[in-house]
Amino acid sequence: MAATSDILPRFVKNSSAAPASPTRQACRLKERHLLMLIVVTFILICFGTIFFAPDFGESLRKIDGLGGMQKRVQDIGQDFLLPPPPLANGRRESPLRHDGDQIEDPHVAQDREKLYHKVKAAGDLPPPLAKPRLGADAAAAAAAAQEAGADAGGAAEQRPAVRVAALPPVITGGEDADPVMQFRRRKIKEMMQHAWRGYASYAWGANEVRPVSKRSHSAGIFGRRPMGATIVDAMDTLFIMGMTDEFAEGRLWIKQHLDVSQVDSEVSIFEMNIRYVGGLLSCFALSGDTLFRDRALETARALLPAFDTPTGIPYGLVVPTTGKAKNYGWASGGSSILSELGTLHMEFSYLSDVTGDPQFRRRVQKIRQVLAGLEKPGGLYPNYLHPKTGKWGQRHISVGALGDSFYEYLLKEWLRSGGADREALMLYRHAIGNVTERLVRTSSQGGLTYVSELLNERPNHKMDHLACFIGGLYALGAAKDPDNKTDRYLKIGKEITRTCHESYDRTVTKLGPESFRFTDNLEAKAIKLQERYYILRPEVIESYFVLWRLTGDKKYREWGWEAAQAIEQFCRVEAGFSGIQDVESPAPRHDDVQQSFFLAETLKYLYLLFSDNSLLSLDEWVFNTEAHPLPIKGVNHRYRQLSGS
């Protein structure tokens, strides 16, 4: 029994008689600590919620508030309601009919209209947080672009019936109220994104990209060093389209790498001025970022040795590191070219105003004095002028290649100066009057209006694609210069632009040839194979844009959309857009070059064509020959003239 009682459990009434084992005491102590820990944790959670929950909620609201959510729903909704055109037979087709502005599926149009009115009814919403940028410098550029866009957006929303210049200039945004135009504009922006990605992926820092072979391309006009021509040329287009990330990337490259003074090979004065000086000054006017003004100043200074000639007429080429300058060997016995020496005034005069350095204005005024004092054969300007003798070279006269932008800058410098440069206006009136009387002709077949060339007083019935800008120039002069035969010149501008449209419409690809001719048997057609290429040129679309803005005739938007679809169909490749070698071929070969002016001009003019007229109003801005907008003095508060200059 004793052994059994030792095995069975015992129940002891008096603890003193049978003390608990040390093991059980340790277990009870741990349980008490665990219970106390649970209680403390519970208290901390309760008090922490009271103290910190409001801040946490506020942070959530800042990160993704109602405005951000609604903005994303709006963006997603637009993409959902407006899908990209489907692929058919390997080619992208337009969802629009060719005979009007109707969407193929009427339900899509109805849904888009409903979404548009809902978004408008919601009113102004706070923007979502911006994405992280590429460092402090990139952040500053993006912030400047966003701030400028916010100012512009506010101006676009209020639009009382007063002169546009009375309001802050609209420099981004500017969406048209028409849903069809909204769709088209988004498509052009997508094309810009595709062109930029191809360049950034395969040729970053180089001048241009070869989008077929996916490698860099460098034209001799920019020297032998990588000069980022596509970056500089595209910057204001990126800004206007609201592509702030890409704009910040480009700004960072310009700050860290752009230094024209270190180029040790020949560069073109003309190309460096219109693309680099003009592009950088445009970015300065749009954003207010002084980096762009300073780089424009450095670039222009690197070009100045070309002006050291007996007449002040600049050479066409200069080596920035040595200052050695010369002309092209093929240019009529070492002459300078009219379009090049005459396409400096806008940029150099504006540069003097924003830097306070008068030497740039003095240089171009000297050119003006020489041209004004020369006798013009038949009242016209030959394409060659010798910088040493000050005498005309070969008697070749054209508003196309070699002559084009000289005429453009006479009118536009008067506009840019706010009407102060009356000499420019007088020279324009004289020049355009003689061009009208001696070069403007009508074809014998269909009555198409065109501008011929003269070679030793003999007419050449050929018109370059480059010359198609003059349709818009006639219209611009008619609208802005009330004393200059307004009705007649506007009609001529319309007719020339119609002819240039015919040069597109009569080809297999619906893209215009490099030049086209008029004979007894044909009109507005290229004859020679070497005339049938298209290198993404903008001049025809430029005239569509100007005439749309000045007349409101919807056909110019339709013509522009036809061109955009043709570019998409025949020029788009995996890494961007390429020119084609034969506009008459249903399957043309690509030339494998994405010209920088495609991003600077062609896509910009298309985007503006499908935007509201308030975006970069022609009352406040004037475009240089590379489509870089410069502010009009005395009208546009973004002129940013340096005090005392």
Residues known to be catalytic: 514
Find out whether 292 and 254 touch, Cβ atoms under 8 Å: yes
Smallest CA-to-CA distance from 101 within 183, 173, 174 is with: 183
Q: How many CA atoms lie within 13 A of 342 on its CB side?
A: 26
Smallest CA-to-CA distance from 179 within 95, 60, 274, 99 is with: 95
3-class DSSP string for 39-100: HHHHHHHHHHHHHHHHHHHHHHHHHCCHHHHHHHHHHHHHHHHCCCCCEECCEECCCECCCC
Q: For residues 222 and 258, what is the distance between their CA atoms, to the nearest angstrom?
A: 12
Find out whether 295 and 258 touch, Cβ atoms under 8 Å: yes
Burial status of residue 204 (CB atoms within 10 A of its CB: 0-12, 13-18, 19 or more): middle
Q: For residues 328 and 325, what is the distance between their CA atoms, to the nearest angstrom?
A: 10
Find out whether 343 and 274 touch, Cβ atoms under 8 Å: yes
Find out whether 591 and 536 touch, Cβ atoms under 8 Å: no
3-state secondary structure of 417: coil
Q: For residues 224 and 206, what is the distance between their CA atoms, to the nearest angstrom?
A: 10
500: phi then psi, degrees, rounded to nearest 5: -65, -35
Tokens of 33: 């600590």
Smallest CA-to-CA distance from 477 within 437, 469, 611, 637 is with: 469
Tokens of 536: 């993404």
Q: How many CA atoms lie within 13 A of 91 on its CB side?
A: 13
Q: For residues 480 and 37, what is the distance between their CA atoms, to the nearest angstrom?
A: 83
Distances (CA, A) of 503 to 465, 472, 492: 9, 16, 17
Q: For residues 507 and 351, what is the distance between their CA atoms, to the nearest angstrom?
A: 42
3-state secondary structure of 629: strand
Q: Which residues pair with 88 in a beta bridge?
A: 91
